[in-house]
Structure 1
Amino acid sequence: MSSSTEPVFDAHLAVALDALLAEQSVTRAAARLHTSPAAMSRTLARLRRILQDPLLVRAGQSMVPTPRAQALRDEAATVVRSLGALLTPGAGVDPATLRSTFTLQTADLVGAALAPGLLRLARQEAPGVSLRFRAEDLEAGPALREGRIDLEIGSIDHVDPETRVEELATLRMAAAVRPGHPLAEGTLTPDRLAAAEHVVVSRRGRFTGPLDAALAERNLHRRVAVVLPGHLAAMTLAACSDVVCLVPVAPAGAAPSPLTDTATAFGLRLLDIPLPLPPLAVGMAWHPRHAADGGHHWLRDAVRRTLVPGSATT
């Protein structure tokens, strides 16, 4: 076993070797790597010890490579090119070369808004990408950490310190009713809204929400006829009955978005709620290990472009 304490051949030495063999000059190699000639001379000495070869020798006013150096020149250049490709930020990946399946966890309304546009972008830009949508059946923090899902998209309510979260849109709630519903005639007041039957959307089966708190401040209470786990089922029910369904819509003056177009696709009338309700923030969350991954960068940008009109690549 060797007792030598000479450090192993690392990436820095590979880059230095490539520069020295290409330039055949300590001074020019130092300039190429933005270091001093003295530092490059020390590096050449280390390379000579490790490779047990002079590499470059004096020939008058210049230096010439040894046969071993000539044999290493192309190999060193190939290694450095490979290192460059390895260390290039993944965001520069060509989407057309991706061969990946991405798993997204979303509420049904977000999935319905996202899937058509995201699939269209995948076909155009990344035909090797497949998409798998999951309902909100996993605890998102651990699922992101363990790699069971790539992105969570919706109302992000977990606060795992390592999770990256980006807000996509801030929406408001409106009352959706069928055409000809009694609430669609005349002024919608808190009393009339409370008197109607409601369908509540809650994947946890809860009967109450922010609207109930706002009504309670006016000593009003609504009747919840049914609780459903998703908006699509709730809007289907609202379209064929007199129940009122709360749905997210764009703020006044905001550009249309797939997130806010689904209710109108069901033929529902949207009524402004005459009560102050908290806004709904829609975002996407991912684990930081994917932050620099090229494929994941494309996925996040594609989600952004699909759900946020006019968004640009970042």
Structure 2
Amino acid sequence: MDSRIDLNLLVALEALLAERNVTRAARRLHLSQPALSAQLARLRGMFGDPLLLPTARGMVPTRRALELEEPLRRALEGVRGVVAAGASFDPAAARLTVSIAGSDYSQVALLLPLLRALAVEAPGITLAWRTLDAAALMAQMERGEIDLALMTPETAPERLRIRPLCQERYVAILRRDHPLAAEGLDLDRYCALDHVMVSPQGGGLVGPADAALAAHGRRRRVALSAPGFLVVPEIIAASDMVALVPERIARLQAGRLALFEPPVPVPGFTIAMVWHDRGDAHPALRWLRARLRAQTDAP
């Protein structure tokens, strides 16, 4: 093998092994497909191995390619760390895309305010919001597909870095002109209403409010189970039902809704920032994490 190694070829190989697809890898590297195909041809000559073989569903790495994958990732991360450690970062001049995974709650309550801030402070940073898949998150971060996740700490993979970001609490909501809006919600009125609840996995009819009610010997009737929080204020604003939602979501719709303390205490939840070691020292990602902390007054 030639001792004069082109680092760009190794970066190309890393992307090809991660994506198993020339088109996706080219998009990731901001190259044309013919340009990346030419680099793959050079890599095959460099290693004396086909490296990736075409199939009907993409490309399959050879045994030699699989042997190279992890040492290559570690070596390139080392290079990136050296460069990032000495780099200064000017958010106003930055030009990059940051991929952030989160629930619909996180996207509206946390990422929407961040987007507004970036428009002023770092207009060249593009946010790519992705739906959180906790089971796939570790692999996605290892491949560089996701830079940051916003999630509850207890659901985060243990090998990722975790830093609490904010604490959220639940409030009860009715439409503003609901017959009970002026009277308030005591326990009897609350239990007498039809309820909307959120079941992120879909179809669930029991949540934190049910455990809180059971401790007082009470039950509620769930009339609708929704897969996410964002649709709930819309449903409440157009019906006589009641719901418990995170306060940050409710405040966004305060003009159409009446907000109340739940008649029984319902535990809230913590949202944390979660990231991989590969992005820990990156100046732009460090700045972005600090910006999120400042936005939520996190220590």
TM-score where L is the length of structure 1: 0.62
**Partner residue of 2:126?**
130
**Partner residue of 1:255?**
none
**Partner residue of 2:222?**
224
> Which structure is larger by alpha-carbon Rg, 1 or 2?
1
Q: 1:228 to 1:282 in 2, by over 3 A?
A: same
Q: Which amino acid aligns with 1:142?
A: A
The 2-side partners of 1:188 and 1:195 are apart by 10
Offset at 1:186? 2.7
Where in structure 2 are the equivalents of 1:247-258 lying within 5 Å?
Answer: 247-249=245-247
**Partner residue of 1:164?**
161
Q: 1:137 to 1:273 in 2, by over 3 A?
A: same
TM-score where L is the length of structure 2: 0.65
Offset at 1:183? 3.5
Answer yes or no: is 1:107 the counterpart of 2:97.
no
2:239 to 234, 238, 241: 241
Offset at 1:137? 4.2
**Maintained 8 Å contact 1:90/1:295:** no
Identity fraction in percent: 35
Say which is worse superposed, 107-116 or 214-223, in terms of deviation. Answer: 107-116
**Maintained 8 Å contact 2:149/2:273:** yes
**Partner residue of 1:209?**
207
2:251 to 261, 281, 285: 261
SS at match of 1:169: strand
**Maintained 8 Å contact 1:247/1:263:** no
**Partner residue of 1:151?**
148
Task: Note the alpha carbon deviations across 1:69-107, whole angstroms, 9 max, x for none.
Answer: xxxxxxxxxxxxxx9x95673674222343211111122
The 1-side partners of 2:165 and 2:249 are apart by 10
The 2-side partners of 1:137 and 1:157 are apart by 14
Answer yes or no: is 1:279 the counterpart of 2:268.
yes
Task: Note the alpha carbon deviations across 1:232-277, whole angstroms, 9 max, x for none.
Answer: 111110111111121122xxxxxxxx66632425x21111112122
**Maintained 8 Å contact 1:196/1:244:** yes
SS at match of 1:261: helix
Q: 1:152 to 1:87 in 2, by over 3 A?
A: closer
SS at match of 2:189: helix
**Maintained 8 Å contact 1:91/1:298:** no
**Maintained 8 Å contact 1:183/1:193:** no
SS at match of 1:304: helix
Offset at 1:180? 2.4
**Partner residue of 2:289?**
300
SS at match of 1:127: coil
The 1-side partners of 2:179 and 2:119 are apart by 44
**Maintained 8 Å contact 2:84/2:283:** no
Answer yes or no: is 1:290 the counterpart of 2:288.
no
Q: 1:124 to 1:226 in 2, by over 3 A?
A: same
